[in-house]
Structure 1
Amino acid sequence: MATPNLPSSLEHRSDDQWVYDIFLSFRGEDTRKSFVDHLYSALVRARIKTFRDDDALRRGENISTEILNAIRGSRISIVVFSQGYASSKRCLEELAEIVRCKNTKRHTFFPVFYHVSPTDVRKQTGTFAESFARHEERFQKDMMRVKRWRAALTEAANCSGWDLETVNGYYTIFLIKII
């Protein structure tokens, strides 16, 4: 998998167009206290304005307006796919919006495969298959939602990204490349 490069100059943006340089999408239980905290800290140290949800944001059944606005107001999204990413309805809703923005706006998207195979994400196998079996049971009356999530995962996994399996969890290499 080719290593993508972030745009060389995040500072060349119109502040009235972009609220954030980067929106981070991740499943907190899997990566918040490890990879994502390190990534977020590195981005902040590099003075890259980054949105990361935290416990202060309102939690609810539907993805919050705050999150949707943060995605729409970000120039770039980095999605950290982990073992449990697809089990979260909220993560899947974020991803669907990120893919929509990628396809309709000047929004750049980079996937990070954190201890998951890009193939498992693309084909929804492994833990992704298990999660979708539960989603299909839960959303029997709203299968269009599940299909939208599946399509977003497939499209996202087809994008050039970083596969952190290849560095055996040693993500400092990733941080150096991104910064």
Structure 2
Amino acid sequence: MQARKKGNAQGIDVSHHQGTIDFKKVAGDGISFVFIKATQGKSFRSKTFLKFVKDAKAAGLLIGVYHYVDDSATTPETARQEAANFVSAIKDAGGIAAFDLPPAMDYESNKSGLSKAALTSVAKAFLQEVERLTGVRPIVYTYPSFIGNFSGLSDYPLWIARYSSTQVPPGASGWSRWDF
């Protein structure tokens, strides 16, 4: 995959785990976009999601939203239920038009021991349902050592975790470039 360049836009992802965030300070530090966790699983809704959206928007940041696919999603049907939870939270925040960036699926755990085919099937069902319900093609978020669990998803934009400012993520599972 391509190397990072000094001129690339800098962004962060946040969730309720970060507690209170001063988004004006974040913007002042050169961050231009933020992905905010909205949901996880079939029913979890972040209590900070709507406040973070409002505060990040007021700070002038570009905003995206993400859902954490948890280990209870073991079938396409449960993946679609998770997508419904996610899209419901998006609607509560003003709908997909309230966001500057595409919605994202954060998928980075396989404690259920799903096969590569089953994991990909869950991911694909989630992505297709989000796109069907919002009309916007979602992004896949994962980290370099987990990406190999997917196959056939490289038509979706990729947001790859960056743990190093110099290390280039290897190409994997059909992706040859990242978008975020």
TM-score (norm 1): 0.39
Which gives a bigger RCO, structure 1 or 2 (Cα 8 Å, sep 6+)? Answer: 1
